[in-house]
Amino acid sequence: MFERLEKINERPEPFQFYTASDLWTDEHTSEQMLSFHLNEAIDVSSRNAKFIDQSVEWIITEFNIGKKTKIADFGCGPGLYTARLAKCGANVTGIDFSGRSIDYAKKVATRERLNINYVNQNYLEFETEDRFDLVLMIMCDFCALSPNQRKEILNKFQRVLKPSGSVLLDVYSLCRINVTIKYRAHFKRENRRIQNC
Q: How far is CA 34 from CA 46, 150, 152, 188, in A?
A: 9, 25, 27, 36
d(CA 56, CA 41): 17
Q: Specify if 1 maps to a domain.
A: no
pLDDT above 60: residue 191: no
Residue 39 within any structural domain of the chain: no
Residue 108 maps to a domain: yes
Question: Is residue 188 one of the residues assigned to a domain?
Answer: yes
Q: What is the pLDDT of residues 52-105, one digit of tens each?
A: 899 999 999 999 999 989 999 999 999 999 999 999 999 999 999 999 999 999
Are 123 and 60 spatial neighbours (Cβ–Cβ below 8 Å)?
A: no
Q: What is the pTM of this model?
A: 0.79
How many CB atoms within 10 Å of residue 115? 10
The CA-based angle 154-158-162, given to 5 degrees, is 145
Quote the number of domains for the chain.
1
The CATH code of the domain that includes 172 is 3.40.50.150
Single out the residue of 149, 161, 89, 90 nearest to residue 124, CA to CA: 149
Contact 78, 34 (CB under 8 A): yes
- Say whether pLDDT at 125 is over 60: yes
Identify whether the C-beta of residue 131 lies closer than 8 Å to the C-beta of residue 70. yes
Backbone angles phi, psi at 112, to 5 degrees: -95, 5
Q: Note the pLDDT of residue 89.
A: 93
The Cα 59–Cα 63 span in angstroms is 6
What CA–CA distance (Å, rounded) separates 103 from 19? Answer: 22
**DSSP reduced 3-state for 80:** helix
Q: Is residue 6 assigned to a domain? A: no
Report the range of poorest mean pLDDT among 26-35, 85-94, 95-104, 124-133.
26-35
- What is the reported pLDDT for 23? 67
Structural domain for 28, as ranges? 20-33+48-196
- Dist CA 115 CA 92 (whole Å): 8
143-188 pLDDT per residue, tens: 888 889 999 999 999 999 999 999 998 876 666 555 544 555 555 5
Report which of 24, 189, 15 is spatially closest to residue 101, judged by C-alpha positions: 24
Within a domain: 40? no
